[in-house]
């Protein structure tokens, strides 16, 4: 931990911080922008996302210890942009790719953002900065409204990297999945199974549309939820509109919603049931 702190401090001075000017076309966009992926298309990737389905994704990491986060909170996976047909691109623009995300955020004076990300946006092996870098380079570089070609210097610059992560954290905080389920009496349990339809119904009641839910452990252990949106306007300044799910579930009709401390207690011998894990490769196959 100390070595990571020293490396972070010494790296701030040399960190590559992405700073680009304000969007040059936002004031030239139509006043009544259409919803992305609608029939009223705007042929301008600076005004409307060309990849018009946006997914806010969260983990329930009951099987990773000690990096699964708070026991009453789903953690953040990312904010992804999909094509309107449900397919997606990745690692879209090498010129936009970055490293040292932590040092860039701290160099911009965004300590609060950095602390929030370390609380809620966790890598399952404890390498948060690498996870954030992966998410930005894989998905963040695919947003058309963040492209350098959409921006020009008019005397005021913004830190797009910081604003990108702020947008994600803000959207995530508006989707407290644990509380949504808790309202309907759906809480983690190592012995009780829930009807998958009841879980979907509880989340739909709060979000307005059903999310996509992924399970592991043979399809009966909840692991991840994806909330789908369309977007009006550019990512950073636009409005996210909840929509029907853009991907399919893979869960059985009856599922476990296991406590996060399940793995630790299993290791201590308090549970004798089989322990399931999921590899990083398997997670990537889901996405």
Q: Is 77 an annotated catalytic residue?
A: yes
**Nearest residue to 47 via CA among 147, 193, 163, 140:** 147
Q: Is 139 a catalytic residue?
A: yes
Catalytic residue among 77, 214, 223, 266: 77
Q: Decide: 224 and 250 in contact? Cβ < 8 Å.
A: no
Dihedral over alpha carbons 90, 93, 96, 99 (to 10 degrees): 50
Tell me how crowded residue 56 is: count the other CB atoms within 10 A of its CB: 23
- DSSP string across the chain: -HHHHHHHHHHTTT-----EE-BSSGGGS-SSPPBTTSSS--S-TTTS-SS-EEEEEEE--TTSSS-S--TT-PEEEEEEEE-TTS----S--GGG--S-HHHHHHHTT-HHHHHHHHHHS--TTS-HHHHHHHHHHHTGGG-GGGSGGGB--SS-EE-HHHHHHHHHHHHHHT--HHHHHHTTT----SS-EEEHHHHHHHHHHHHSSPPEEEEETTTTEEEEEEEEEEEES-TTTSEEEE-S-SS-----SEEE---TTHHHHHHTTS--SPP----HHHHHHH-
Query: For this structure, is 261 an active site residue?
Result: no
Query: Computed over its alpha carbons, how large is the radius of gyration of the chain?
Result: 20
One of 110, 135, 210, 224 is an active-site residue; which one?
135
**Catalytic annotation, pick one of 49, 116, 139, 224:** 139
Residues recognised as catalytic: 77, 135, 139
């Amino acid at each position: 931990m100390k070595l990571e702190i020293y490396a972070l401090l010494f790296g701030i001075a040399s960190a590559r911080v992405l700073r680009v000017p304000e969007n040059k076309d936002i004031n030239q966009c139509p006043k009544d922008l259409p919803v992305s992926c609608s029939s009223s298309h705007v042929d301008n990737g600076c005004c409307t996302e060309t990849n018009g389905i946006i997914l806010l994704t969260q983990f329930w990491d009951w099987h990773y210890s000690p990096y699964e986060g708070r026991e009453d909170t789903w953690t953040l996976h990312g904010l992804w942009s999909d094509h309107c047909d449900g397919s997606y691109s990745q690692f879209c623009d090498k010129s936009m790719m970055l490293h040292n995300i932590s040092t860039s955020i701290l160099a911009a004076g965004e300590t609060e953002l950095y602390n929030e990300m370390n609380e809620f946006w966790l890598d399952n092996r404890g390498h948060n900065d690498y996870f954030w870098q992966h998410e930005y380079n894989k998905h963040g570089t695919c947003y058309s409204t963040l492209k350098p070609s959409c921006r020009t210097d008019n005397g005021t610059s913004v830190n797009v990297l910081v604003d990108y992560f702020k947008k994600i954290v803000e959207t995530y905080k508006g989707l407290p999945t644990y509380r949504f389920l808790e309202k309907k009496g759906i809480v983690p349990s190592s012995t009780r199974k829930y009807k998958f339809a009841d879980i979907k119904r509880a989340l739909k009641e709060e979000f307005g549309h059903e999310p996509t839910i992924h399970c592991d452990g043979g399809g009966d252990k909840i692991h991840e939820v994806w909330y789908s949106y369309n977007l009006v306007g550019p990512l950073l300044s636009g409005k996210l509109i909840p929509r029907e799910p853009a991907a399919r579930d893979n869960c059985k009709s009856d599922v476990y919603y296991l406590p996060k401390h399940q793995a630790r207690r299993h290791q201590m011998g308090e549970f004798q049931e089989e322990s399931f894990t999921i590899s990083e490769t398997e997670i990537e196959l889901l996405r």
